[in-house]
Structure 1
């Protein structure tokens, strides 16, 4: 059996659950957007999404940063070194500290809602009625931060205990609640004297309750005390919150990156939309696969580090990185070869005309070229977190911001929104290089020589698949959009051909990740 085969199988099984949950959430998210768009005027929904910006940013931080970066490794370390009982006490104290901090955050968010709306929507000052509604929406929706934080802690605790099912599907409940909100809660909020858009606030808060609630029974069954404990903090608890501080800085870096890209893009008509729609498509493989693999690998890596077995941790890291590249390289190939066709099929109708299809397709191709880098970053960062190092990833994020800003200012005057998309890809590649250099300095040689052949095989398979997809897609009339029946058929055919070519070449070239995946499917079918 090749190096890390057992680890690959374990990570693949866990990642498949997380990916399935993410896929369900993405599908429901698309349905949510469609329902909300059909139920409320765009001018009104803009106010809600503006109000939801800050709480959602903290949700992302807690779900993808704070819990995975600070709490899970410390909980695993306490469990491995001190035993289950002390680890449970630490978890309860973390819940208590998190509840305290989030309560303060919610109070501050409500108190300074007017200032927040001014920062993120300064143009609303010219429309006093809209500004007032946005402020009230911000105050009403801010308590979601508290629910999302505790739900993220439950997710982390369950993942650290080897349970990935309910945590993977919990985020979908927010989308379910928001889908139901326009049908169920409009009369309720209007009866209280609020505008109909406040139904989405009720849906958001209900979604937060459901996200947390569905994870409590499995947590209780495992004896995980998500209930807060307010007592003298254990040294492990203090360590967890010390690790949290740099992750708060990461939120600031992320917000600066978002603000910078929007500011630059606003100087070209429709550039923000071209980038946004392209990014939505790129986020599908990034969210489904990259985050799934990182989530699945972190507990095992943390356990190895807690045991002092760095060689095992590096083996697990290489296995996760190989798995990330195995899915991200063909994802890049698909969205590069089928960039314009993807946009045409999904968005090309109504007001989304030929120009929008072509320009969004160009943006998508440039961003898709960096999927492998983002997937790799999300695999590297958990190893830093397992080493109780949350500062280095933040420094690397700052490097990303600097490179993006410099590259964007250089390329935007020449290539417009495509230059911005290229800057996003370049910044991710430089960030990855920086992380790998710093990681090697921290833990020694990473054993990347063993990756040359398998990753080279994956790249050959991905290029072959991309060429096959591009050939099939060349017969389509993509500028005509998604309403042309033959376009949809050609798109599906191209994707199937590309998938078949990738699997065939990967199998012929002996890619272990494919063999592990096929073996897992065979075992699953054999049990039925």
Structure 2
């Protein structure tokens, strides 16, 4: 467990750097474009290659690739594992190039149709938003090739125990986008030219996202070979991918439909939803993805050895850790949604009106953090067992719930209704996945987590009361708005985190002894040095 915690801390640190840069990126994009139709179009267009990444890369491929590559490494050593990496990436390159070519052609044709519709009276405003998205999608789709290959290379690195470099690879995307925004501010004339520079930054960053984990594999001894031969392992990956591709396709359609509803709703919806998602993804990315990244190869190894007891132990530890972090994070972010939004984004083209639009959306999204985190780990449990059918059913259920509730709730709550629908869909998905996992292996039931969950909830509520009272105290001090927000964020969050940690320690949360041993080891090492 100590080694797992060390790996989690490494991935968490690398992901902190990446996510913070990603948030800085969104701050600069918001300052440059606000919540304009152009920004909403960029969000929609950039969503498309990222969704296909989930379809062909991080979702379907990784779920099938990691257990199979782990098995190959366990039984046939590195040479066979590297040969499998070459075969998988060769096929992935062929498929992604073909998909990108077709998608660019479809976007071009759709753009032509939308130009015609843009001349029609009632549909003109909506058609113009869709036209902007179609034109930008043509530029951005090649990013999919880079990011899908990056997902395969990163998965191989993780199986080899190299976690930090793949976790840092998104840094290059964020740096490239920030550089493009800087150039746009200096050289470009007009919003369209700056947007095209931003798209160029995405493509450059995508290349480096792919190159960094590929370089790690090169240092580990892998040499790329274009190999389209099909063997039993490739067939197994293809078989395992089949249901997951369907599940990822459902997810793709789910997000695409949400984006289409957002585009049809108003100019601001997709921009606001994207920014709220980015803020919410900071705790998800820093902790949940780090934990899931380390736990997945570990439980996949237990499954390959049919060690179900160890699998259950590590699965529950992973769930406990994500709930330990994300329940208080959800409550804190919901309570502080207004000062967080104002401090991070309210500058340039992002106005006080945009803050008022985004604050309730962020608060609602924050409440879904625990369920989204839970789902992330639960899915890894199925993938470790090579069960890719159940996640498809869960994705289908989530899609039906999200679509039905989105169409219903936007009537009363507009953009906030889309966030509410997404949260409820994830809640249903989490419930379904855990129920099916417990039926498959009773040792993976939720029961062992309940005592710790009670302690986490009690500590989180007390922490929330501290945050609420602290906000009232700061509000009464008469600070200027920007100073008020800075004092609330920089002052209350560390105090609340310390109080929460202290409460859990006093309640003897499970894992306390392990942490104490790690602290003692670090103290002993420091004393010796």
TM-score by length of 1: 0.86
Distance 1:154 1:255, change over 3 A: closer
Residues 1:153 and 2:146 aligned together: no
Distance (whole Å) between structure 1 residues aligned to residue 277 and residue 187 of structure 2: 36
Residues 1:92 and 2:86 aligned together: yes
1:178-327 matches, cutoff 5 A = 178-183=177-182, 197-225=195-223, 227-262=224-259, 266-267=264-265, 275-327=273-325
Q: Cα distance, 1:256 vs. partner? A: 3.0
1:64-79 matches, cutoff 5 A = 64-79=58-73
Equivalent residue number for residue 434 of structure 2: 436
Distance (whole Å) between structure 2 residues aligned to residue 462 and residue 414 of structure 1: 31
Distance 1:432 1:51, change over 3 A: closer
Q: Which moved more, 1:395-404 or 1:108-117?
A: 108-117
8 Å contact from structure 2 (residues 72, 80) kept in 1: yes
- Which of 461, 469, 472 in structure 2 is aligned with 1:471? 469
Equivalent residue number for residue 3 of structure 1: none
Distance 1:384 1:221, change over 3 A: same
Q: What RMSD, in angstroms, separates the aligned Cα atoms of the two structures?
A: 3.6
Distance 1:35 1:346, change over 3 A: closer
Q: Cα distance, 1:334 vs. partner? A: 0.9
Q: Cα distance, 1:156 vs. partner? A: 0.4
Distance (whole Å) between structure 2 residues aligned to residue 221 and residue 353 of structure 1: 48
Equivalent residue number for residue 163 of structure 1: 162
TM-score by length of 2: 0.85
Q: Which moved more, 1:318-327 or 1:409-418?
A: 409-418
Q: Cα distance, 1:476 vs. partner? A: 4.2
Distance (whole Å) between structure 2 residues aligned to residue 419 and residue 130 of structure 1: 21
Q: Cα distance, 1:319 vs. partner? A: 1.0
SS at match of 1:224: coil
8 Å contact from structure 1 (residues 349, 483) kept in 2: no
Distance (whole Å) between structure 1 residues aligned to residue 463 and residue 370 of structure 2: 16
Pairs aligned (count): 516
Q: Deviations over 1:421-472 (max 9, x none)?
A: 3332222121111001111222234253322222221221111111111110
Q: Cα distance, 1:240 vs. partner? A: 0.9
1:45-64 matches, cutoff 5 A = 48-62=42-56, 64=58
Distance (whole Å) between structure 2 residues aligned to residue 122 and residue 57 of structure 1: 28
Q: Cα distance, 1:289 vs. partner? A: 1.6
Equivalent residue number for residue 382 of structure 2: 384
Distance 1:261 1:163, change over 3 A: same
SS at match of 1:214: helix
SS at match of 2:444: coil
Residues 1:13 and 2:2 aligned together: no
SS at match of 2:330: helix
SS at match of 1:474: helix
Distance 1:485 1:315, change over 3 A: same
Distance 1:117 1:473, change over 3 A: farther
Q: Cα distance, 1:512 vs. partner? A: 3.1
Distance 1:481 1:60, change over 3 A: farther
Distance (whole Å) between structure 2 residues aligned to residue 435 and residue 267 of structure 1: 32
Q: Deviations over 1:340-362 (max 9, x none)?
A: 33233333557766665455333
Unaligned runs of 5+ in 1: 1-5
Q: Deviations over 1:111-169 (max 9, x none)?
A: 33314557999976869999998766544433222221221111000101111011110
8 Å contact from structure 2 (residues 406, 417) kept in 1: yes
Q: Which moved more, 1:230-239 or 1:179-188?
A: 179-188
